[in-house]
Each structure stands twice: as structure tokens, then as C-alpha cells.
Amino acid sequence: MAKSTTPGNPVAARQRGVTMKDVAKHAGVSRTAVSFVLSNRENASISEETRTRINDAVQELGYRPNAGARALASRRSDWYGIVTEIVTAPFAVDIIKGAQDQAWLDRRFLLIAPSDQADAVGPNQGLEDAATEKLLEQRVEGLLYAATFHRGVHVPASANEVPTVLINCFDADGKLPSIVPDERAGGRVAVERLLQAGHTRIGVINLDPVIPAAVGRLEGAREALAVAGLELDQELVVSGYATADGGYEAACQILDRYPQKDRPTALFCLNDRMAMGAYDAIKERGLTIPGDIAVIGFDNQELIAAYLRPKLTTVALPFERMGALGVQTLNALTAGQPITADQQLVDCPLLERSSV
Amino acid sequence: MAKSTTPGNPVAARQRGVTMKDVAKHAGVSRTAVSFVLSNRENASISEETRTRINDAVQELGYRPNAGARALASRRSDWYGIVTEIVTAPFAVDIIKGAQDQAWLDRRFLLIAPSDQADAVGPNQGLEDAATEKLLEQRVEGLLYAATFHRGVHVPASANEVPTVLINCFDADGKLPSIVPDERAGGRVAVERLLQAGHTRIGVINLDPVIPAAVGRLEGAREALAVAGLELDQELVVSGYATADGGYEAACQILDRYPQKDRPTALFCLNDRMAMGAYDAIKERGLTIPGDIAVIGFDNQELIAAYLRPKLTTVALPFERMGALGVQTLNALTAGQPITADQQLVDCPLLERSSV
DNA sequence: TGCATTTAGTAACGCGCGTTACCTGCGGGA
DNA sequence: TCCCGCAGGTAACGCGCGTTACTAAATGCA
């Protein structure tokens, strides 16, 4: 498909915007004067009178600056780009929200480019490369990469041309700064909450044990138990698929394995979807939440956690905050701060609802 | 990998971008020749030899076009803008995905600007106006407005300066084209499915009766019943808050009102969240789904519908398709098609799972 | 009065690119 | 021989703006 614009400039010609030149003519001054006033130059000497005359002209003509031309002349675009699979798999969409809000505050524009990358390792980087390339063509001053779940990733080589920050993922090559949730602290706070409610025998419904989320959260759980002088009973840790069905099955195993007196009185589900399944398993057995079994989740997926009955107490992933921090970090880097491979850990707050 | 864009001299590339002038010098031709080759001009006469020489130079230097400069010179940006509250309330995030994928196919870039507008009517249009303004400063060639739920909206006046299309909402002033779900057909298909499964006494858990979604879906339900020679029993229609709790209570009302033989054998829940609550009400009464009571939802909120047990049969809102259609409509408008206030209705497909 | 500042503004250049007008050779027909 | 036409380019302009030099008048100061 070639460009379908015919030589005649059909559409573009229709709409010619008001330029500085027009404003200048209308105000009876030079274009330079207009530029000075609009950019609020400090050591420009423009009398108060012409200044208002120019501002009036701007109002009357409805002048609107041309961001592209400005970027070209000033050699800075005020744009950041974010490459993300989140558009495809919207689980962590709050990252975008956080980043965009922060960018808006900082008078920057965030260009969002989709990356359909299903797996981090495979050579399916076509679209991701293309997205990065497209963003660089727009002359973004910084790049963000955001993943739907915490993991290591490889970024396209061309990302090295501008400051780059990873969000909810980290550089598998260990060269770029990143912002990730503090899974361990999250696991700790979850189990602390259960301990505080008097539970000492706690079942854990685990994710795939190799992913960073599972490793961190479980370690945090161990730490919390250790502080209370307890140990994590490996028999009470059951892994399953990260779905409601997986959670259901894992919960059944844990609940049916013991006579009532040895049965755990609380379940720590490493994500909310599995907690959703665990609810079913518990209710099926005629047990109540939190009376007989307390449940605590992880992720704070609103649609689940806030709508389960009883509402699910869970640990939130700080997506929005990570997004904002990403932009702030980019601000620092573009301002000249040296690039390091630091990992910023962001707190995962406990959200009390009614299941503990 | 074979494409060695950066390995040459990444540092130099960062400091000052490679321009056409550099490519021209490297290839020993004029800048014009480079421009002609890169834009694939048809009636330009460039020998095959210099053409390849230029392309080689592009590769070797890692030249990347400057989108802003190109837009400035050619007076077309290839950008569309989308103003949306979806970033804030990600329920309908698939609209963005659909729009972005389509834009990508059409070699256009979609700029996403957030609008924090909580209510459609209030004068809280500050942020929305600012977003529109910002997009126009980028010289977008068209605008999309996307809402999280189907309703009438007012768009900022400046939106009239470029072609504008509304998605999942419609112009309260009746002047702009819009793309909305065919709620009525969706309601029809849901009830048809229940009828086909043999249900004739169907309870309806309704939304706020005045919103377009409720009006349309209910009307569709009536139509389907009429075709089967049945009438909608108004006693069986219960409204509630659009939440799981609301659905729970409404379901309780319906289920407890009648002796078993008069009890409806199916529930049509006008959204999935309410269906989620209805599940609880049904299970609490020792009834099974779909054995004793069939349930059908609306919206296809994946996190709910795909994870409820049994999985929820529901009618999907065609967000992705609406997004894509929005971009396609914009393509037509920017290509010169006259602007009308047409409402395009998009089908809501039935998703069979296990609750009917 | 004489000279140096300061005030108030303007002319002109260039950012990177698309585009139009032009220029140069060369082969062929009359 | 002359002229025409065409392949194969190039010079030059302008898109809208930031920015640096420069100018011309008003003011300060001895």
C-alpha cells in the first residue's frame, strides 16, 4: 500500500493553521517578538504594552503552537515513549496511567507503542523493534519498557540511543535501570497480617516456583514466619496454574489432606485469581471465610478482589506508582544523571477487606 | 540481528542524529536524491546504481527519518489522537488496543491522551479540553473520543477542527459520527440462547433502567421473547446496582419470590459483575448452574466471565472492533468523505461457556 | 555636551525534510 | 548541422519555529 495522497495536497490544504507570522502581523510586530513573548523569555525586552497586544492577538486568532516545528527548531521534543505489551494484555494498565499522569504533570507527552511480544525470550521481537524504531523516529527523549508481569527482558539494541527505564521488569543483561515491585516485602506483610490475626498454620497456594514473583513472595512469607519463631511447612505449599481453576485444585489438596484439627486456618494465595478458586473450594466444603479459613491474596485485581464475597484482603501491586516513578527516573536521566543499573523496589501495600 | 543499526557509532548517533545530508555526503549525491529514493517517488529518475548506493549509505549510517521534520515539510503528520477516560478506568481498554492495531496497520501513529472526566455532563471538562488542545498542537489529523460505557457526551469545541469520531459513546448534540455497540441485538441473542436451551421463564437482572445499555438490551430481550410468542414478565425484571452485591440482592429477590415450580429457570444478567453476585445467590440456595438455573451475562469481562465456576456464558461488547472501526472511519473522513452524524452499530457476539 | 548603557525591538539563520524548478549531458530524427 | 526530448540528477525554496546577532532610540552619568 503506497501513500494514497495524491499530488494535489487534497486534505492538508484545507486546513492551514494560524502561525506566529499571522499573530505578528495582526499585532503589528515582528515574528521574533511573538516568539519571545510566547516562550516567556527572561532577558527579552518587550514592553508591557506590546506584550498584551501580542497576547490579545493570540487569543483573537486562536493561535495554537505547532509542537513539531517547535521540536525541530529547539531540538527537544518533550516526548517520552513507552513500549508495552500492556495494551495487549491489560492486566497492568495502571502502569500506563501512572506514567501518563506524571508525564502530564511534567509537561511531557507520552507516546504509547504496543508490543505484541508474547514471550520474553523468543525471537519474536519484530514488533517490539518496530515500536522502538517508530518512537525514535518521533525523537522521543527517553524510553520506558513496561511488562505485564515481573520478569527479566531483553530490550532492542536501539533503545540504547536514549535514556531507558524498565518498569515491572528488569534488564536480563543487567545494564539498564528498572523499577519493580518489592515482592518480598509484600509476602512478608501478607503473612504478618495472618499471624497478627492469630493464624499459625498457613497454607500457601504458590505460582510457578521459578518466576520472580513466586520467589520473592515466598521468601517474604518465610521471613515473617521466622520472626514469629515459625517455619514454613513445605507440605503446606502447593503450586498450581495461575488461574481460578488452579487455585481451586490447590486449595482442595490442602484442605482435604488433613483431619480438621491439623488443617490450616488460613490460605496465602500468591495471586487473586487463585484466591478466587480457593473461595469456591472453601465454600464447597461448608466452611466460611474468614471464620473457618482466612484468605489473603496478592495483586489486587480490582474486578476480583473487590467483588468476591466476602471481599478479598490482598496485597496490591503498585502499578501506578511504578509508572510515575519510571517517568521521574527518566526526568533525572535526561537531565544528565548518569545511567546505572539500579533496581528500584516499590512497596506493595496491604489492602484490608473482609477475608481475614 | 543482521540489521546493524547501531553498532557503527552509537554515541555519535545520540549526540546529533544522522540526517539526510549525512547520507547524501556519504553516498556522494545530493540531498534531494536521497529524499527521492527514500520516499520512493515514482517519476523520479534515479539510476539503479545510485539508488543502491544511497540505500547502502542509509544502512551504514543508521539513518532514521525525523518524523517531526517530515510532518512539517509535508504538512501531514500521519497521527491520530484519542481522548479517553479509559486510561483512568480501564474497563474498555480493548478500544485502545483495537484502534492502535488498526492505526499501526495503516502506518499511522495513535497519540493517547487521558481524560479524567468522571461524569459526562458536569462542567469538569478542564482536563478533557486540555487533552484535546494538546493533541491539536501535535497536529493530529483526526480525533477519537472513547468512553468506558455507552452514553451521550459533549466534546470540546476545538474538536471540530479535524475529523472526529466517537467510540462507545455518541454526540449529545447529534453532529458527529459515532460507533456504538448494538445493545439490542446483544439482548436478543442472549435471550434467544436461553430460549433455545428450553427456558421460557426468564428472570432479568437489570441495570439502571435509563442508561442506553439497559434500554437496548432489554428491548432486545423483549424482541426475542416476542418471536417465540412470549412476553416479558415485568415482575421478573429487577434492577440493582451494577455490582456483584447488586446482582446478589436482585437474584435473591427473584429466586425467593416464587415457589419452586414458578421460579424462573434462567437469569439474564445485564452485566457480568451482577452475574457474579447472582452465582453466589444461586449456590447459596443449593442450586446448580446451569442444571437448576441457567445464567447468561453481558460485557464479557474476562477476569470474571472466564474465571467464574462454571465459566460464564455471556455477550461480548466488541470493544476491539469498535476501536478499529473508529480508525477506519477516520481514514475515510480524512480522505475527504463528508462528515455525517451516522451511528454505526457493532454486533455483540455471544460467547458460549458453561453457564447455560 | 559626550559617551556608555539600557530598552525595545527586528533581520536573518538553521532545524530536517518535501517539493518544484531547473540544469546537464547524450542519443536520435530531420 | 541543429534541435528536441529524456534520463539523471541538483539548486533552492519554504514548512513553523527557536535563537543569535544586530540596530535604533531612550536614558544615565560625568
Residue written as grid cell 455532563:
B121
* Segments of chain B assigned to CATH 3.40.50.2300: 79-182+320-348, 183-316
CATH class of B10-65: mainly alpha
Kindly tell me if the per-residue pLDDT of A260 is higher than 80.
yes
Which residue, among A49, A15, A19, A54, has the nearest Cα to A36 in the 3D structure? Answer: A54
Please report the pLDDT score of residue B42 as a whole number: 80
Beta bridge partners of A296: A268, A313
Mean pLDDT, contiguous 10-residue spans, chain B (356 residues): 34 63 96 95 88 96 96 95 88 92 94 72 63 94 96 92 96 96 98 97 97 97 97 95 95 95 97 95 94 97 89 97 98 93 97 96
Of B7, B87, B100, the CB nearest to A114: B100
Q: What is the pLDDT of residues B192-235, one digit of tens each?
A: 999 999 999 999 999 999 999 999 999 999 999 999 999 999 99
| B209 and A CB contact within 8 Å | no
CATH class of B183-316: alpha beta
| A111 and B CB contact within 8 Å | yes
> Which three three-digit cell numbers place residue B89?
478506568
Rounded-to-integer distance, Cα A34 and Cα B231, Å = 70
> Which three three-digit cell numbers place residue B248?
446478589
Rounded-to-integer distance, Cα A51 and Cα A45, Å = 10
3-state secondary structure of B232: coil
Tell me which residues have their CB below 7 A from strand D. Answer: A 16-17, 19-21, 31-32, 35-36, 38-39, 41, 65-66, 69-70, 72-74; B 29-33, 36, 44-47, 49-50, 69, 72-73, 75
Q: What is the pLDDT of residues A97-145, one digit of tens each?
A: 999 999 999 999 999 998 875 444 444 456 788 899 999 999 999 999 9
Average pLDDT of every residue of chain A: 91
Rounded-to-integer distance, Cα B61 and Cα B64, Å = 9
Rounded-to-integer distance, Cα B353 and Cα A81, Å = 39
Distances (CA, A) of A237 to A85, A198, A224, A270, B53: 31, 19, 15, 11, 64
Check whether domain A79-182+320-348 has CATH 3.40.50.2300, yes or no: yes
Our CA angle for B106, B107, B109, nearest 5°, is: 110
Please report the pLDDT score of residue A41 as a whole number: 87
Strand C positions with any atom < 7 Å from protein CB?
7-12, 14-21
The answer to which of A2-11, A17-26, B17-26, B84-93 has the lowest mean pLDDT is A2-11
Please report the pLDDT score of residue B113 as a whole number: 92
C-beta of residue A270 within 8 angstroms of C-beta of residue A150: no
Please report the pLDDT score of residue A89 as a whole number: 79
Which residue, among A149, A109, A112, has the nearest Cα to A131 in the 3D structure? Answer: A112
Rounded-to-integer distance, Cα A280 and Cα A296, Å = 14
Segment A267-291 mean pLDDT: 95
Kindly tell me if the per-residue pLDDT of A4 is higher than 70.
no
Please report the pLDDT score of residue A170 as a whole number: 96
Please report the pLDDT score of residue B79 as a whole number: 96
Rounded-to-integer distance, Cα B144 and Cα A108, Å = 21
C-beta of residue B319 within 8 angstroms of C-beta of residue B153: no
3-state secondary structure of B12: helix
Kindly tell me if the per-residue pLDDT of A151 is higher than 50.
yes
Please report the pLDDT score of residue A126 as a whole number: 62
The CATH number of the domain covering residues in A17-65? 1.10.260.40
3-state secondary structure of A84: strand
Please report the pLDDT score of residue B139 as a whole number: 95
Rounded-to-integer distance, Cα A352 and Cα A288, Å = 18
Cβ atoms < 10 Å from Cβ of B122: 8
Q: What is the pLDDT of residues B156-204, one digit of tens each?
A: 998 989 999 999 999 999 999 999 999 999 999 999 999 999 999 999 9
Cβ atoms < 10 Å from Cβ of B253: 14
The distance (Å) linking the CA of B234 with the C1' of C16 is 68
* Segments of chain A assigned to CATH 1.10.260.40: 17-65
Strands (E) located in A229-323: 237-239, 266-269, 294-299, 313-316
